[in-house]
Structure 1
Amino acid sequence: MKVTREFYKLPLEEKQKYSNVVDGKEFRMEGYGSDMVISEKQILDWCDRFYLVVEPESQRIYTLWPTQPPSFRDILSEYTARCREITNLVLKNLAKLLSLDKDYFINMLAENTITHARFNYYPHCPNPDQVFGLKPHSDATVITIVFVDDNISGLQLQKNGVWYSVPIILNALLVNMGDVMEIMSNGFFKSPVHRVVTNAEKERLSLVMFYAMDPEREIEPVPELVDEKNPRRYRKIKTKDYIAEIFKTFAKGTLAIDTVKI
């Protein structure tokens, strides 16, 4: 969190060296900036973000990894390795809850899967009742691990139409179910809709690790979890197609998972 804060305090010219807009026009997932704009009517979020591929190591584009602060790269590399240990532990226990082989989900996150780190910066906002830091959405992941700012809350989860603030717990990581886990579990696990609200007085940071499947792999309910009492609740879709759907629905303020429900 310290090096994230130091990065966002750098002059804009320094941060723009890692821009997610190439040659002033082509948007790419990785880099510093804001989310993709696909419509003039799109409601923008009050947030700067910095995306990096952190796994597999062979896919890292180190020219996009900041050299300032100097410790950024080493700390992110270590954090990535530690989070992978937590991810594997969580996935083993989720498989057990479904009476599957303990390595079932771990094996689905094989060598070709890509893990993204997203560094979020939410400046203080003069009109917090008029704009979200991040609009309501659910994650297109298997699971997501979030390191939440311990200075100020802002993350909220929706349940039965009511929004609840996530409490601040020092040095805790939030593990969030993604849409892929909801689909694979045939609805046993739920991918929560969440949002980030802005604050008139304070800025806020978070670091999010997104664990997704191979882009070419198909997402569908695990066959062992489908029977007469538990019919299939989601249709089959390729990971890359679902991620494309996420971009479209997020911009519109709708949910991608609604498009694959049967």
Structure 2
Amino acid sequence: MMKLSKKIIEIILKSLGTGYEKRFLDSEFGNCHGYMRIVNYTPPSNVEENQVEGLGMHTDMSCITVVFQDELGGLQMRSKDGKWLNIHPCKNSLVVNIGDLMQAWSNGRLRSSEHRVVLRRSRNRFSLVFFWCFEDEKEVIAPNEIVGNGNPRIYHPFVCLKYIKFRESNEVGNFEKIGYTVKDFAGLNV
């Protein structure tokens, strides 16, 4: 998963500018780490065939997130115009989300995907999720080349771990503050 994530970041960097993968892959993303979770969404006993929210709208804290969802599906992404789009499971396919750390590092050129999980059946839904993140002490700041000439910076520089702690909840067993984003933490009023 580490090799796959690094390859995905290399492709993303190529899409941002010529030679960016050579300039930034090792210097900015060389010390990234990852962790995997098996996520089990248990529906309430009174689920209707319509839909019940399994995890509310949120963004991921990572640089990127790689997701394998079971055949039940239920992952939805929010489009730029606010519509919820179903991300149907496809055999031998993975879903890649841009996370908050990558949004800040790219100065907003890449958008952290707002997503949620909905449960449509009274069966457990499983996902295998790999979060690829900067190292804890990394200062997240968009390089000048990424910001571009004439474009304002839209995020204060911040230390990765401080953002992760900002998103942590005080509730036992509840890691993320659903709905908080990197804009809430480090966004500049531009």
TM over 0.5: yes
- C-alpha separation between the residues in 1 aligned to 2:112 and 2:34? 18
1:195 to 89, 94, 116: 116
Q: Is the 8 A contact 1:125 1:200 kept in 2?
A: no
Deviation at 1:226, TM superposition (A): 2.4
> Higher RCO, 1 or 2 (CA under 8 Å, sep at least 6)?
2
Q: Is the 8 A contact 2:74 2:88 kept in 1?
A: no
Q: Is the 8 A contact 1:143 1:210 kept in 2?
A: yes
- C-alpha separation between the residues in 1 aligned to 2:117 and 2:86? 9
Deviation at 1:131, TM superposition (A): 5.3
Aligned pairs for 1:32-51 within 5 A: none
- C-alpha separation between the residues in 1 aligned to 2:26 and 2:76? 28
Assess, with a 3 A threshold, how the Cα gap between structure 1 residues 125 and 226 changes in structure 2: closer, same or farther: same
Q: Is the 8 A contact 2:63 2:102 kept in 1?
A: yes
2:106 to 185, 188, 203: 185
The one-letter amino acid paired with 2:151 is N
**What does residue 12 of structure 1 align with?**
none
SS at 2:154's partner residue?
Answer: coil
The alignment of Structure 1 onto Structure 2 pairs a total of residues equal to 178
SS at 2:30's partner residue?
Answer: coil
Q: Is the 8 A contact 2:53 2:118 kept in 1?
A: yes
Q: Is the 8 A contact 1:245 1:256 kept in 2?
A: no
Cα deviation per residue 1:166-202 (whole Å; 9 max; x = unaligned)? 0111110111111111111111111111111123332
The structure with the largest helix share of the pair is: 1
**What does residue 257 of structure 1 align with?**
182
SS at 2:168's partner residue?
Answer: helix
Q: Is the 8 A contact 2:65 2:96 kept in 1?
A: yes
- C-alpha separation between the residues in 2 aligned to 1:252 and 1:173? 25
In structure 2, list runs of 5 or more residues that go unmatched.
Answer: none
The one-letter amino acid paired with 1:254 is G
2:130 to 209, 213, 219: 209
- C-alpha separation between the residues in 2 aligned to 1:206 and 1:87? 17
229-238 vs 128-137, greater mean Cα deviation:
128-137
Q: Is the 8 A contact 2:47 2:122 kept in 1?
A: no
Task: Name the TM-score, length of structure 2 as normaliser.
Answer: 0.83
1:116 and 2:35 equivalent?
A: yes
**What does residue 3 of structure 2 align with?**
85
Aligned pairs for 1:78-157 within 5 A: 83-99=1-17, 100-103=19-22, 104-111=24-31, 113-128=32-47, 132-149=53-70, 151-157=71-77
Deviation at 1:120, TM superposition (A): 0.4
Task: Name the TM-score, length of structure 1 as normaliser.
Answer: 0.62
Identity of aligned residues (%): 30
**What does residue 165 of structure 1 align with?**
86
210-219 vs 93-102, greater mean Cα deviation:
93-102
Moved runs in structure 1, 4+ residues, more than 6 A?
none
